[in-house]
Structure 1
Amino acid sequence: MKKLAMTTLALSALVASLGCAAAEDFNGTLKKIKESGSITLGYRDASIPFSYLGDNSGQPMGYSVELAKKVTEQLKKTLGMPNLQVKYNLVTSQTRIPLVQNGTVDLECGSTGVTAERAKQVEFSYGFIYVKGQLLTHKDSGVRDFKDLKGKNIVTTAGTTNERYMKKLNADEQLNMNVISAKDHGEAFLMLQSGRAIAFYMDDALLYGERAKAKTPRDWIVVGTPPSREIYSCMLRKDDPQFRDLVNTTLAGVYKSGEINKIYQRWFQEPIPPKGIDLEFPMTAELKELIARPTNEPAK
């Protein structure tokens, strides 16, 4: 905790100094934002409760979106731009990294797990949740773990680490499964509900988000010994230390103040739009540790 406090203090001093800097002292994304008068945030439209479209406003909402807004609030202060324009750009599992890399999106806070492969392409902020790969299935399906999937249809989401893992598991364990790749989490759950698949493999927090949408949520259960674990973080362009430090300082401040607990409660343990659904997903011990010692390193 002492190390965290010292790091936070140092980064806060950096942000304060940037706030007094002239425009020419900024570089990378901060310079781009200063000169354009706007920041573009990447969002997902169906990653409940992280980033999704929940009403008719057309504006994204969710846990990750709220954290991204904290960053834009800090940017307004640091850059001296109270009227900073915030734009949103839809991303998918397949497009999120390219759109960050090519400058279309400045910051993506959705449901992206940190991996060594992705870290070669983009920079990651401190993590904001710790997730485990599990299975969503009907309570009467007979599926309780991965061994029960042999010879059956299973659905996951295209372009995710979960998709790659499930295909590898299928080959390595010779389970003879039919692995279906849906375009997004919502479509995957629809396939599960319609009987096209017996289970949906994805990160636990996202599974609870889909489960909450069901007519009778408690007909659906999350099961399985977690074979994968990840930290979700915001993505930004590589080699951009000024912007990275501002994002990390902002998140560290939200964590240290305890505000993160209220934000988490709002999105994971209280009714959320559009239908007042409650995920019933309390904060885990792993997330509490992540908040106490911010990092973006994947779990061992």
Structure 2
Amino acid sequence: MHRARWRPIRAERPTLWACLLAANLLAACLPAMPAVAQTEGEGLSPTLANIKATHTVRLGYRESSPPFSFLDHSNRPIGYSLELCDAIVDEIGVEVDDPNLKVEYVKVTSDDRIPAVVDKKIDLECGSTTANAERGKLVAFSPLMFVAGTKLMVPKASGVTQVADLKGKTVVVTKGTTNEQAMHNVDAKQSLGLNIVTAGDHEQSYQMLADGKADAFATDDILLYGLIARHKSQDKFRVTGDYLSYDPYGIMYRKGEPQMKDVVERAFRKLATNRDIIPLYNKWFVARLPTGEKLNVALSPQLEEAFKVLDENQ
């Protein structure tokens, strides 16, 4: 499958929307990795050496995490995260002196995405993954690419406006997500007696709500808006409640490879320096998606600041 190239588009700067915390908290929540200089003549790191030997980069994608990683009408993986990974692949090509690297797309789920990175089934995970300290013990993350938080999707006719209104009711979460833990935490803290059930991916979670098997679906707010737009169900469902978690997103790759870390961060800095990263954001969050939906989710001031910091560090 060939990689699609993106071209920056012009977009009016939309009204900024609020997030929970400043984006630079991402750096504080992950374990620090000491910088290791790449000495002249030193061999490539394991991931890069394998890529050079096989001429292939394996990208993990999600089937139903719009606009980050999802399938178009031809079942081709597309999305914001995949385009960021495309830029990293270009930078890997420079590092291993192979400008014609092939890309192999590998489907992953919220439950198996981290093992897929650790077990070397994929080289980059291009989805909607929260970077936190716990996961940082197992994998490495790119610079911040988005900030989200857990909210609730409920039927429009429902009287639910906050999590306390779900006392004793059924909430579906996608297995292996930070949202699952967030719901268990709030359930214990507020003694809500929730029946928390899991589904294999976001599409299945959405379907459980649509089929009346759950009273609410809890996941990151941007994913809920993306699913509502994709299903054209604005008249059926709404997103509600306070943020129940803080979720900074990053691209995952294998931990303990300083050379790979340098390549990933260099790709992000180039996007920021060339002023390509904000048009790329607008392409997937503000403009109409290739599949026809339009989220119209403006760039947050925190994420905009994070992109500026990347530029300043060039």
- After TM superposition, the score normalised by the length of structure 1 is 0.86
Pick one of 16, 20, 27 that aligns with 2:45: 27
The question of 1:248 aligning with 2:255 is answered no
CA distance in 2, matches of 1:227, 1:164: 10
Describe the superposition over 1:102-144 as per-residue Cα deviations: whole angstroms up to 9, x where unpaired: 1111111211101111100111111100111111122221111
- Which one has the bigger helix percentage? 1
Partner of 1:42: 60
Describe the superposition over 1:75-104 as per-residue Cα deviations: whole angstroms up to 9, x where unpaired: 223322122111111111111111111111
The question of 1:163 aligning with 2:175 is answered no
CA distance in 1, matches of 2:168, 2:65: 29
Aligned to 1:156, the other structure's residue is in SS state strand
Partner of 2:20: none
User: Number of paired residues?
Assistant: 275
CA distance in 2, matches of 1:154, 1:286: 30
Pick one of 284, 288, 303 that aligns with 1:287: 303
Counting only pairs closer than 5 Å after superposition, residues 1-300 of structure 1 correspond to structure 2 as: 25-56=43-74, 58-274=75-291, 276-294=292-310
CA distance in 2, matches of 1:225, 1:98: 31
CA distance in 2, matches of 1:176, 1:188: 20
Structure 1 residue runs without a partner (length 5+): 1-13, 295-300
CA distance in 2, matches of 1:125, 1:213: 27
Cα RMSD of the aligned pairs, angstroms, is 2.0
Give the deviation of 1:186 after TM superposition: 0.8
Comparing 43-52 with 132-141, which one deviates more in the overlay?
Answer: 132-141
Distance change >3 Å, CA 292–CA 218, structure 1 → 2: farther
CA distance in 2, matches of 1:162, 1:201: 7
Percent identity between the two aligned chains: 38
Q: Are 2:117 and 2:123, in contact at CA under 8 Å, matched by a contact in 1?
A: yes
Q: Are 1:155 and 1:199, in contact at CA under 8 Å, matched by a contact in 2?
A: yes
Q: Are 1:28 and 1:242, in contact at CA under 8 Å, matched by a contact in 2?
A: no
CA distance in 2, matches of 1:234, 1:206: 16
Describe the superposition over 1:207-246 as per-residue Cα deviations: whole angstroms up to 9, x where unpaired: 1111102334254222111121111101111110101111
CA distance in 1, matches of 2:91, 2:136: 25
CA distance in 2, matches of 1:233, 1:215: 28
CA distance in 2, matches of 1:95, 1:205: 21
CA distance in 2, matches of 1:192, 1:108: 27
CA distance in 1, matches of 2:306, 2:204: 31
Give the deviation of 1:273 after TM superposition: 3.4
